Each structure stands twice: as C-alpha cells, then as structure tokens.
Structure 1
C-alpha cells in the first residue's frame, strides 16, 4: 500500500498544478492519519525561532482561522516544537501548551486542532525552507498516539519532499516573477523574483498574504500599476495567477527635463518661458506632457518622481 501511495505522490509532484497536487498530497495523508486540515509553508526562521512565512497552501484551513492565528500573541507551539527538533516529524498535543494562554485554548477548541504533526527540515537560520503541518481533533481512546506518530514519520517526509519538487517545477527557483494566490490573497507559491519585487514595493509587507492594496485592486481588475510595478493576473479555479514586472521609467526629453527641474524649483511659468525661450502655452503643454508621462498630478509628486530617476 505504501509503495502505491508514494508512486501516486511523486507522480503528482511531477505532473500536477500546485493546487491540485496539494489536495492530492493531503488526501494521501488522510489515508494513514485521521487529519481534518493541513498546510504547506515556505519561508525562513531566525535564530530566536520566529518564523516568516512567504507562501502557504491551505487544506481545509479557512481564511478566518489563519487570520485569527496570526493575531494570537506568542509563537505557534507546533512550529516551536518542530524547530527544536528540526529534521524530525514531531507530534505536538497543542492543548498542553495553552494552559497559561486562554486565547490559544479557545482557538484550539474552536477549530478542533488538538494535535499537530509537523516537519521542518534542519537548515541554517535565514535559509528559505519548506514545512508541513497537519492537524487532528481529540484522539479517541481506540487511537494509539505512538501508532499515529509512526504513521506521520512514514508519510510526512515524503509529502514535504514531493511538495518541494512540485513547487520548484511549477514556479522555478529562478526565472519570471510569478505567484499563485487564493482568491482571498493568501500566496500558495511565489518565485524568488516575485517575493523580491513585492518586498521592494511594500517594505512593511508581511507574507503570506499579498499586500492589502494589491489584494483590493485585484478584486476589481486584472491589471494593476503600483509604484514601480506592473502586475497582471488571471483567475482560474478560484486561484489568481499573477505576473509582476518592473515598470520602465518613462524618459523625458532634455527640454522637458529642464522645464520640470525649473517647475520643481519654484519657477513661475513666465520665468520658465523666458529662460527656455518658448511661449507660455508651450510651457503649459510641456508640463502637461511631463505630468502624464510620469503619472503625477502636482509638483510634490513631480519632485519625488524626478528624484527617483536621479534627475534632481
């Protein structure tokens, strides 16, 4: 039986799109563990054990559950336990970690997540890595904790490796800036180039959710210009397939550069017209063209745009 499961798992990693592979993988886990939900994560952790998640694939984890966990104080006990035993499949009876945390206890009861089985590879702090967690409800008396842990040891390392293979095949560790997100803005996968562009444009961004302004914009349109980025998206099977590119800075002619610099410096239209030996209407037309090219509407924004292009 295990041989057939592994064949299906690795065949799926090779052939299936991201979302379909995730559902296949967690379905295979369900055949050996009584799980009700799970997640793949990709991110980094620091020397203190604090995790920054870049992308997630959620299996039966609604957005409200994810947001509620993000807002809870303190580290996730399952992740903390897994980092303490990096490279091993670990079992965390979550309720034992909630005795002094009433909010965590309520969260565990609300979502029936009494047991977590987690695997995070042993890599140096700061190194991007994958991880997987699956959850079960209360253990029935007929269940053997040791047997469940043994089953988790048997399947989770293969699930994690197959997911890593699938993600790399689908997005590539190098190449275009592409990402896949759920309709609510949670990233399932993102290439390193996409993560770099998003982080540069929104320095305070906290993945795995897309930046809020981008999520809001993509609810109503499929092409967005945000700062230095051009972002296109398509929707298929309730998933957003996103491509990001750096916008080419529009160039100003030498005459436009001179007019723009004088306007930012506070020169009046008559002064600009006299110094440039052109008419007032020409100055007005040039400034209108400059504003349109740079996508600005006032002198403050014009100054910022020129500074960003190194023209001030």
Structure 2
C-alpha cells in the first residue's frame, strides 16, 4: 500500500512539471512496475453521441503509430449511438465503455473468430488486453487507457484488474491536470484555439474548437494525426507558421512538444496600403523584385520595402503563404 501511495504522489508531482508526452511516458513507466505490460495507449475519444467514433488525442507507449492507423481496417466503421454505446467490432472497448470505471480484461487469442481482428492482434503482438474507460469523462472526450501483453501464456488476472481500478483513475486525473498546466503556460491570442502535438504530428491535446478549424482547411481530416501539409509547413518554415485558405497556425517548440495556436481567417479587408497590395499581389504570382519594379515603374529598393512591410503585416514569410493571405488569390 505504501509503495502505491508513493507512486501516486510521484505521478501527481510529475504532472506539475512535465510536458504532456513526458508525463504520459513517465506515468506509464511507473505503473509498469506495478502491473507489467508490453505496450500501452492513452487516448481521448469524442464523447458526442450519434456521430462517428473519433480519437482526438493519443499517446502510444512502445507501440508503433501504424497500430493506430491500421485500427479502422480491423474494427470497421465505429460510432456512438443515442445512448452513448459504441457500435464497433472492438468488443473489449465496447464492454469497457459500458462498464466505465472498471477494467475489462480479455484474451485476444481465444474466443475471437473475426479474422481481421485476429490478424491485427498477431501483427502487433497483442495477446491480452486490459482496458479502462474513465467514469468521469470531460465535456467533449472520454479518457481511456489500454494495456497490452504480447505473450499468450501471460494473461491478466482479476487481481491485475483490481489494481488497475485503483490506480488508473489517478493517472487520468493527473493527465488532465498536466494538460491544463501545459496549455495555460502557452500564450493564446484572442479568438484562437490551442493544440499540442509531438514532432511527428501526433496530437496530445486539442481545444474543442481545433477539430472544426482544421477541417475548414482539410474537410476530410480526422484526428489524432495532424494533416501532413501542416506538419511539413511547420518543419520547413523557420517562423513555424502556416497560412492557409481558411486558417492560420502559429507554432513554437517547448521541449519535445509543438504548441500551436490556430485562428480562423475572417473575411475582412487586408491591412495593406494600395501600393503594398499591388506589389504583394505580383510577388504572390511569382514575379521577382526587378520584374515587379519594371511593371510598376518603381525602383527595386522601393518594391523590397513594400514587400517587407506586406509580409510583416500579414504575418507570412514566403510566397505561398503570401498568396494564401490575399483573398482574391487564395
């Protein structure tokens, strides 16, 4: 009992100091000493009923991202019905969602007849699972933890489930505290929403508005992996900025986390003078300083100053972003 209390004190203490990925990693490593497992996942999925099942944020622990990407192929289309029950071939998660606050253990090598699920479990060395769904969901998400064992002869016991019921609620509560502290330490402009992700684009925290905003730019996108064009743009741009047709993203790196503020682009007059706008429009179409100067009959130095001012006012740093920021070209 004393060792478990020390474990919980350590987890709550680390929640106040760690980044989100570091906290998830630390908490699961600590819990691994109590309940041995080979891999794990912490997820927040959408709690909105009568809609497609969507994972909003995820932390994979000693498991490849491909395991999450291949999941829809094995589990099929998933949705939450009017009563909040899950429609899915994932019988373990269905039961855990129906019995929130109680760990559900399952042997995935016996009693499973679905060939897609069996192939999925073999591919990712998942012989046994313990799944816990929080009995205290947030307004928008349902926090969930799944722990997996790879060896067929090492099943979970009821004693394991009891230990998980005692400790996993604390990990999820500490995770919630950790998320709030990380977000509050990231300054957010008025009207913008916040998202935190790892460098490979895996979301660890999203404001409820973030999904809607990103889908304005990429209609078919669903979390938890950020759209590839957004990740590439942030990596290639020293200012870590993306300006699209519908949204603008500003990012910064804090430890091993990318902190993003996402703002919807409103339809309002651009803050440029007529001279700056003329020069910016020609630059966005691909013309050089000299070509713009020749066409407008102005010196290249003047064009350079006008474009520098336009870039600064629009918050962009390259011609692609400049083109997206001009409403008649976007």
Category of TM-score, reference length = shorter chain: 0.7 to 0.9
Aligned mates of 2:252, 2:106 — CA distance in 1: 39
Question: Does the 8 Å CA contact 1:77/1:94 hold for their aligned counterparts?
Answer: no
Give the aligned CA root-mean-square deviation in angstroms.
Answer: 3.7
Which position in structure 2 is the counterpart of 1:79?
93
- Helix, strand or coil for the counterpart of 1:99? coil
Equivalent pairs, count? 271
1:138 to 147, 151, 155: 151
Which position in structure 1 is the counterpart of 2:10?
8
Q: Quick check: 1:203 aligned with 2:203?
A: no
Which position in structure 2 is the counterpart of 1:244?
262
Max Rg structure: 1
2:203 to 187, 195, 201: 187
Which blocks of at least 5 consecutive residues in structure 1 are unaligned?
257-280, 283-288, 306-312
Question: Does the 8 Å CA contact 2:129/2:156 hold for their aligned counterparts?
Answer: no
* Higher helix proportion (structure 1 or 2): 1
Which position in structure 2 is the counterpart of 1:158?
170
| Offset at residue 181 of structure 1 (A) | 1.5
Q: Which runs of 4+ in 1 moved over 4 A?
A: 46-50, 123-126, 235-238, 292-297
The change in CA–CA distance for 1:146 and 1:124 in structure 2 (over 3 A counts) is closer
Aligned mates of 1:156, 1:240 — CA distance in 2: 27
Aligned runs of 1:24-103 on 2, under 5 Å?
24-47=26-49, 51-74=53-76, 75=88, 76-96=90-110, 98-100=112-114, 102-103=115-116
| Offset at residue 119 of structure 1 (A) | 1.8
CA offsets per residue over residues 131-190 of structure 1, 9 Å max, x none?
22221123536x661222222222212111111221122225x98322222232221112
Which position in structure 1 is the counterpart of 2:118?
105
| Offset at residue 228 of structure 1 (A) | 2.8
Q: Quick check: 1:170 aligned with 2:182?
A: yes
Question: Does the 8 Å CA contact 1:77/1:92 hold for their aligned counterparts?
Answer: no
| Offset at residue 198 of structure 1 (A) | 1.9
Which position in structure 2 is the counterpart of 1:310?
none
